[in-house]
Every structure is written in C-alpha cells, then in structure tokens.
Amino acid sequence: MKSASWIKTAFAKGAGPSMGLWQMLPGANVSRLLARTPGVDWVLVDCEHGNIDDAAMHDAVPAVAAAGASPIVRLPDIQSWMVKRKRVLVPLLRTVQEAKELVQAAKFPPVGRRGFGSPLAMERFQPAPTMTEYLQQANDTLLTMVQIETKEALDVVENIAAVDGIDVLFIGPFDLGNNIGHPILSGIMKQELLDAIARTLAATHKAGKKCGIFCTSGEQAKMFADQGFDMLSVATDYTALQATLAESVSVARGIAKPARGGTY
C-alpha cells in the first residue's frame, strides 16, 4: 500500500514539493485526465466547493488511483462520518480539539476509532491490498490533512501542527484572508496574510509535518515551492478549462487574449 501512495512517496523522496490538481467537475474521465497529467502526484476531489456529490466522489477516487495518482477528498464538512474517504482534507478547522477528533475518526484502533469492513477501500490502491493488508497498513499509509483558513486555527496553529496523526496542514489563502480581516482583493495579498502564511509554514515544519497551499497558477505554485512548501495545488479543472476556451476563441476571432483571472 505504501508504494501505491504516490503523494507519500513524493514526500519521502524530498526531491521538491508534491504537486497536484483540483477536480471540481464530476466524471471519471475528468479524474483520469487530471491524474495522467505529467508531473502530478495527486488529484483532490472537491466535495466542498466542487460540483461533486457522494456518488461522483466514489467514481472519481478509484479512477484517480487506477491512473497512477493519489486521490484526496476534500470533505464538505468536518463531521466524523464523512472521514472514511481514504486521504481526506478537512476544511475550516478551528480548534485543536477538532484536530484530535478528526484523527480519532480517520485512524483505526488502537490509534483511533474508525470502523472497518468496507470492501470498497481496497480498490482505491493499485495494486489492491487484501483486507488484512489494508487493516495492518492503513494507519501508516492514509494521510489526514486539515485546512488552515480560519482565525481560530491560525491563533493555535502551532498546537494544531503538534497533534499526533495530523500529517499535513494545508493553507486556504482566500478564506484565511477573509477570516483574519485581510481578504485578497483585485489579486493583492496584504502583508498580514503573507505573515499568516509564513507563520503556518514555520509551525508545520517545526512540528515535523508537511505544509501545503492552494495556488491558482503554475507561476504562483513555483513561487510557493521556492518558499519551501511541501504540497502545491497547481490548477483546477474548472478554471483551467474556462481560461483555455476563452483564449482559444479570442485567437480564432483575431482579438486580444483575455486576461487570466483567479490569480492572487
């Protein structure tokens, strides 16, 4: 199982940040397209802000895994019953206690209290493990990730990073900026938000964990890679499709290419 966890393999190699793509549109064909993109270690299936319900998520996750990337599921909420999704990213974390409860829901005994028995979990790996292999290796293989995007979480980010069983702290710059009173407006990140991002990165690394951040372009991902981030989202399917189509139509009509939106 560990060899089939491409994101953990990338972390272990330490040869630079692990890069991935964000899936907001439903469909296994979309999942496979993203997962087969050269240089991609993971695809995040966005059940919070994406147009992806539970059935579409169950189609996407095995499609990503079969195509050679690690599937990650961003949950729509922090409720523990939603956590049984292999590798999970939990949005809008606020407290240390929530982080501890998440670990309990994500890990099998004796570390946590997660229930065991679904035959669907094994097919999320290539090659697929037996149920015994899955039970024995899951706690060490499956990543538990939390988003730092609230003022409450930022205030105790050092303590959240220290929680055993939390593997990755992932920054959501838009919500973080909103929640600390310094939103990203017209693409401008204020110094207070930059300081909050730097604080989270430092706290995560001090605790020996990995730190990720949401990016809106390859150029921005390169900038954060140079700052020492371990995990970078490079693009989303929806915005990439939107930008490419608008650009192609503009070229065909002989008019100026539209400015690409969505960057900070």
Task: List active site positions.
Answer: 49
Strand intervals (E) in 173-260: 210-214, 231-236
Closest CA to 178 of 161, 190, 160, 195: 190
Dihedral angle over CA of 92, 167, 217, 63, nearest 10: -100
Exposure string of 109-145, with b = 16+ CB inside 10 Å and e = fewer, is eeebebeeeeeebbebbeebbeeeebeeebbebbbbb
- Cis omega (within 30 of 0) for bond into 17: no
